[in-house]
Every structure is written in C-alpha cells, then in structure tokens.
Amino acid sequence: MGIIPLPTGGAILSIRVQRSTTQFVWLADPTDREVWQALDAYEKIKQTGFGFRSEKYVYFTPYETQDSIGVLDVYKSEIGRRDRMFCEAATALVAHGDFKKVFPSMRPGVKVKDCRVCILGTAQVKADFFARGGVMSW
C-alpha cells in the first residue's frame, strides 16, 4: 500500500498485489469512510482476498501479510473532505499514467510486464463520478 500526493493537498491511496510479472493496482479515496473501514478490518486480521474476473472465469486469491497500514493513518483526517479532487486525479492517472514508474515491481529482480490499474468503486466514488456526469461500469 502506498500514497500518491496530489497538488490539491489530497492524496490517492494505492493498494497493490503482484502475481509474477503482472501487477494489479486499486486506487482508493482517502476521504472515503468505506475505504478506512476495509483497511481497519484488514489491519485487525492481517488478511484479505482479491477477486479477479475474466469473460469465462472468476478467481479469488487469499492474501495474508504482516504489513501495517499505520503509515497511512495520517490520512484518516481526510475522511469526509469533498475538496480533494480524487476522481479527477485518479481518472487522469488511469488514462495517462506511466504505471511502471508510478508502481515499481513489488518483487526484487522481477520486472513488471503488465500493470492493471483500477479505481476502487465505493458508494462515494460512484456518486462522485455520476455527479460529474461520468460513467463507471461495474
């Protein structure tokens, strides 16, 4: 997990998992209470799961770690702020970002060949996109 600071004073939380040379990244809004509820639960039990869907299959990968989210706690004070432009910044990153620079390999000696970046679709993020006339498919 990591932080991408924004010029607006806000940030984007990044949640990453890497399988071999493919990295999956979810961009999360630190002003979103739903994100913190999930991170707090993760911190408590030190495990989560990642679901992946293709046209034919659905995969679920359990994930356990000793990583701490404590370094992210400073961003909890952002909960409820609506002036941080998360949707605009996350959309720009997905559309125009150089993912290999922004999200380096999580495994020493293993180059990332493919990086899939998504915006974590919480109720708040969906509402923000729709309020701006955006379309998100789930």
pLDDT of residue 136: 54
**Is residue 53 in a domain?**
yes
Q: Which helix (H) or strand (E) holds 50?
A: strand 47-53
**Is residue 94 in a domain?**
yes
**Is residue 112 in a domain?**
yes
pLDDT at 137 over 50: no
**Is residue 136 in a domain?**
no
pLDDT of residue 106: 86
pLDDT at 63 over 80: no
| Choice between 138 and 71, residue whose per-residue pLDDT is larger | 71
Kindly indicate the confidence band of residue 138, based on its pLDDT and cuts at 50, 70 and 90.
very low
pLDDT of residue 77: 65
Average pLDDT estimate for 56-64: 78
Which amino acid, residue 134? Answer: G
Task: Report the domain count for the chain.
Answer: 1
- Give the integer Cα–Cα distance in Å for 88 and 47: 30
The candidate with the shortest Cα–Cα distance to 42, out of 19, 20, 75, 72, is: 72
The candidate with the shortest Cα–Cα distance to 111, out of 20, 2, 1, is: 20
Cβ atoms of 77 and 31 within 8 Å: the answer is no
Average pLDDT estimate for 76-86: 70
**Is residue 32 in a domain?**
yes
**Is residue 138 in a domain?**
no
| pLDDT tens per residue, range 5-57 | 888 778 899 988 888 898 889 999 988 999 988 888 877 877 777 777 778 88
Q: Which domain holds residue 108?
A: 2-131
| pLDDT tens per residue, range 103-133 | 888 889 999 999 989 999 899 898 888 887 7
Two tokens, residue 137: 């498919």
